[in-house]
Structure 1
Amino acid sequence: MTGRQRVVVIGGGISGLATAALVAREGAEVTLVEARDELGGRAGRWSSEGFTFDTGPSWYLMPEVFDHFFRLLGTSSAEQLDLVRLDPGYRVYFEGRDDAFDLPATGARDALVSLDPTAADRLDAYLASAAETYDLATSRFLYSTYESLGPLLGRGMLARLPRLARLLGEPLDRFIRRHSRDLRVQQVLGYPAVFLGTSPAAAPSMYHLMSHLDVGQGVLYPRGGFSSLIDAIARLAEQHGARLHTGHRARRITVEGGAVTGVEVETPDGGTRHLPADVVVSSADLRVTERQLLGPEHRSRTDAWWDKRDPGPGAVLALLGVRGELPELSHHTLFFAREWERGFDAIYGADPRIPDPASLYVCRPSASDEVAPEGHENLFVLIPVPADPEIGAGGVGGAGDAKVEATVDAAIRQIATWAGVPDLAERVVVRRSIGPADFEREFGSWRGGALGPAHTLRQSAVLRGSNASSRVRGLLYAGATTIPGIGLPMCLISAELVVKRLRGDRTAGPLEEPA
């Protein structure tokens, strides 16, 4: 970057805020515009009757990515967040079994092996491979803009190419089955595919690296919830000079002579304003950016391109305030259906439908934080469903659309039965549901998807797409719909990739941290 460039960032989710902070530290004049009245995007908060809920991300994984991001801004995770290590990292209920499985904070490998002692050597090989592949991904792939493939093929990479080809060509579920025949182990090793917006059958086995995160590294939690992470990044962005404007909806990216000139926004009073810019970074959903903010002549992707893409899963969320304690649930609790392949087929198959029974995720942050009135619990329930806004929108107190509320009711019954809390439904005192139509309306999510485009082979790494427009100079992208992909750590890295673009940095690894 030369001179004091004017940069406008569209979107106040974690990727937009992180971009604003990093680019402002580079010396640019940064203005961020967010359509909603609060920052955070999917990583929002909602409070009611003394309960405080995170409305989106709830897993703190890849801590070194957060550490690196904060160090780039001259601070640290320890200074900005109050992190605690969860023990157990999570609990699993398997359909048809009374005994739950806990993944402890220490001895996680031994706990996993206890599910299938005959596979101890194979599981050790699996975890060692996951650690090695994770290190390779963070050093060679995740922090690359793919402007040049040369840095990806440096010393040692040529010898690894045959192994990488095998990991990319074999589905994750098949790779897992070669290491254990126990269904419980297969589910524990395969569920991280959901974090990638896909199924174990569709994810390349390269993504077995995800098991290094929970089994190898453990699971952390920021006290105050994930909105405390958003608050920290927004605070740092402003400290470095970025101006953050909520209630300002981007309406059009203006272009002259093939280069961006700014962003036209709608202001809170209903007026319009043009923000001039030398660089525009859109962290909005890529389809929104292309279809709503750019004219047809400036779009890089055709309708045929979009028709071939996988939007990932949708979700029905339930925010539940519950009277009394729930020791049956850990901070993170997973409920795995015995025939979970049928559930994935229901979500991603040719006949999309809401799975029954579904494999659920439940977060109980009141186990680790003061987010509920005394003597009460706070639950966040995620039910994976097809990416389909026709499923409907949610509401407060059971006032959402019929399919959404029926899905929540079924999930409450399932949790009650599997975890042994027969009176759970009667103890719910606060209830809010969120459906795919809410994701589409509130966040511009393509087809109401909850996470972002699935990490299938054709939508991973360099095949996921560039973070720079091929038609408009000065237009860059950040967020879950561009590289490197889905999840809070990936969104932080996407912000760093914007800086690498602006610097002309084509290296494959993370930026050098300041002394």
Structure 2
Amino acid sequence: MSTPSEHRRVVVIGGGVAGLATAALLAADGHEVDLLERSSALGGRAGSWERDGFRFDTGPSWYLMPEVFDHLFRLLGTTAEAELDLVHLDPGYRVWFEGHPDAVDIAADRAGNVALFESLEPGAGAALESYLDSAELTYDLALRHFLYTSFQSPASLLAPPIARHAPKLAGLLTRSLESYVGARFEDNRLRQVLGYPAVFLGTAPDKAPSMYHLMSHLDLADGVYHPRGGFHRVVEVLTSLAERAGACLHTGVEVTGVRTAPGGSGRRQRVHVTGVDAVRDGAPASYDADLVVGAGDLHHLETRLLPRELQTFPESWWSKRDPGPGAVLAMLGVEGELPELAHHSLFFTRDWQQNFGDVFDARRVPEPASAYVCKPSATDDDVAPPGHENLFVLVPVPAETSIGRGGEDGAGDPQVEKAADAAIAQVASWAGVPDLAERIVVRRTVGPGDFAHDILAWRGGALGPAHVLSQSAMFRAGNASKRVDGLLYAGSSTLPGIGVPMCLISAELVLKRVRGDRSAGPVDVPRDL
């Protein structure tokens, strides 16, 4: 990569995906980078846990938007093909519907899913063709004009493609995803398949703008992939690339404050960063910096590491924001095979409105709850001992730390263990594995309290602030402090949003800020790649 910006001393706070990608990009651009991670391991939400021959990813498990990964790797002088062994999953995922005895397998490609939709509802195949055409167009516009920009320049919203499709985009922003899907499909199973991507965005189908129907282009047309080794492997690659670029990565260092001094440019009250204070090995430490990038939870960074007068996003701002869902996770080592489950399996309750209403409105753990189950042992041989399966179960719950924390072998707080038990019983019943609970030999649960404690997640949220309209695109928290020069942000709390691809893009948005690049698209990749 070229180095058009002046050399800076940089501190990146947080060693998750966004922090690692930011450290790698800035180090490759010629800056002196120290990354500080409070825990003993890198990865953040994309963590890893091992016991008795089982290895579990503790967070992300859907590899979507492969072009975003590849673009980031190309900026760092390599490719996704060179760094990852990607498997195109077939089926992409399996869906179980309450009240229907048979699961539905989502195909690995567009043609297969058009045929599937037609088999479930006459005329739905043609409707899906039109739906996916619109999803692809919207996704392309998002990549070119909305995802790789910090919206610093109004000109980015005046590009000819945006103007040409303005009426369509306006309609997609003001109508819910649920309404958009419901107007095109009658079968409730199809409506649920098309509406569920809202959960990946931290919200419900009736709260997500229909702009996000673009998500269906990813899973129903492009297909779902799995990196062998799981997202733990993605973290390993990002770690290697950051170190190769010259970044120094430190674990066990908790930042306790951002240091500032008078003299920032612009308004009189602005200041500039001079570094961070921290605790390392139980002792005070400090790191000087000309630039600080907060790549952890934005609420913690703003309200705990800065004094009130320097906060761009104080508590009063957060009180009006939607935290998205929390989650109860169960990592299960299971004796024997489970052919009933695919690599990814979804379990949807019949009363869709009640389920989402419990999570996002009533703020209680739903009973029954829709759930997601990942079985990486379907694809990776080394995540479970021979003759065993590895299951990762996720139940969306409210982002409420009062639900509690998890533990090993049933030792978590009562609400967490109850939700995990209910999900296990649901999978056993719906998928036809009546002895599932008796076959579990390893069990660990995680609750909203763990997200708050382990990664300092605001209100114990599992993903990050929800992608409702008021928290999407230019309405999402910006990635630069308005009161402190040299303080930037990356990660799921800020632009462009939730998910590993978005976190990778957020790192690139920091690079563009540092370079003074206000363009709407991604940074150009060197021509020799």
Q: Percent identity?
A: 58
Alpha-carbon distance, 1:455 to partner: 0.0
Select between 80-89 and 110-119 the one with higher mean Cα deviation. Answer: 110-119
After TM superposition, list the pairs within 5 Å mapping 1:334-345 onto structure 2.
Answer: 334-345=346-357
Q: Partner amino acid for 1:354?
A: V
Any idea what SS the aligned residue of 1:384 has?
strand
Partner of 2:265: none
1:23 paired to 2:26: yes
Specify which of 459, 466, 471 is matched with residue 447 of structure 1.
459
Alpha-carbon distance, 1:161 to partner: 1.1
Q: Is the 8 A contact 1:5 1:29 kept in 2?
A: yes
After TM superposition, list the pairs within 5 Å mapping 1:276-287 onto structure 2.
Answer: 276-287=288-299
Counterpart Cα distance in 1 of 2:447 and 2:344: 21
1:478 paired to 2:490: yes
After TM superposition, list the pairs within 5 Å mapping 1:19-168 onto structure 2.
Answer: 19-106=22-109, 107-168=112-173
Q: Is the 8 A contact 1:103 1:112 kept in 2?
A: no
Alpha-carbon distance, 1:273 to partner: 1.4
Alpha-carbon distance, 1:124 to partner: 1.5
Counterpart Cα distance in 1 of 2:6 and 2:348: 55
Any idea what SS the aligned residue of 2:127 has?
helix
Select between 357-366 and 158-167 the one with higher mean Cα deviation. Answer: 158-167
Partner of 1:359: 370
Counterpart Cα distance in 2 of 1:315 and 1:151: 36
Summarize deviations over 1:159-199 as a string: whole Å, max 9, x none. 21111110000000000011101100000001100000000
Counterpart Cα distance in 2 of 1:102 and 1:215: 11
Runs (5+) with no aligned partner, structure 2: 263-270
Q: Partner amino acid for 1:20?
A: A
Alpha-carbon distance, 1:112 to partner: 2.7
Alpha-carbon distance, 1:99 to partner: 1.1
Summarize deviations over 1:10-43 as a string: whole Å, max 9, x none. 0000000000000001000000000000000010
Specify which of 413, 434, 445 is matched with residue 433 of structure 1.
445
Partner of 1:241: 246
Counterpart Cα distance in 2 of 1:129 and 1:262: 47
TM-score by length of 1: 0.99
Counterpart Cα distance in 2 of 1:332 and 1:236: 29
Any idea what SS the aligned residue of 1:117 has?
coil
Alpha-carbon distance, 1:123 to partner: 1.9
Alpha-carbon distance, 1:301 to partner: 2.1
Divergent runs of 4+, >4 A: none
Counterparts in 2 of 1:504 and 1:3: CA distance versus 1, 3 Å: closer
Alpha-carbon distance, 1:448 to partner: 0.5
Q: Partner amino acid for 2:47?
A: G
Any idea what SS the aligned residue of 1:156 has?
helix
After TM superposition, list the pairs within 5 Å mapping 1:351-390 onto structure 2.
Answer: 351-370=362-381, 371-390=383-402
Partner of 1:259: 272
Q: Is the 8 A contact 1:25 1:240 kept in 2?
A: yes
Q: Partner amino acid for 1:57?
A: P
Q: Partner amino acid for 1:200?
A: P
Counterpart Cα distance in 2 of 1:435 and 1:303: 24
Counterpart Cα distance in 1 of 2:70 and 2:118: 30
Summarize deviations over 1:470-508 as a string: whole Å, max 9, x none. 000000000000000000000000000000000111111
Q: Partner amino acid for 1:115?
A: L
Counterpart Cα distance in 1 of 2:502 and 2:353: 27
Any idea what SS the aligned residue of 2:196 has?
helix
Q: Is the 8 A contact 2:293 2:490 kept in 1?
A: yes
Specify which of 220, 223, 229 is matched with residue 224 of structure 1.
229
Alpha-carbon distance, 1:297 to partner: 1.3
Q: Is the 8 A contact 2:303 2:314 kept in 1?
A: no
Counterpart Cα distance in 2 of 1:278 and 1:138: 31
Alpha-carbon distance, 1:120 to partner: 2.8
Alpha-carbon distance, 1:282 to partner: 0.3
Partner of 2:323: 311
Counterpart Cα distance in 1 of 2:114 and 2:221: 8
Alpha-carbon distance, 1:421 to partner: 0.3
Alpha-carbon distance, 1:119 to partner: 2.7
1:494 paired to 2:506: yes
1:10 paired to 2:23: no
Counterpart Cα distance in 2 of 1:130 and 1:156: 15
TM-score by length of 2: 0.96
Q: Is the 8 A contact 2:5 2:514 kept in 1?
A: no
Q: Partner amino acid for 1:293?
A: L
Runs (5+) with no aligned partner, structure 1: none
Specify which of 249, 253, 273 is matched with residue 285 of structure 2.
273
Counterpart Cα distance in 2 of 1:167 and 1:323: 47
Q: How many residues align?
A: 513
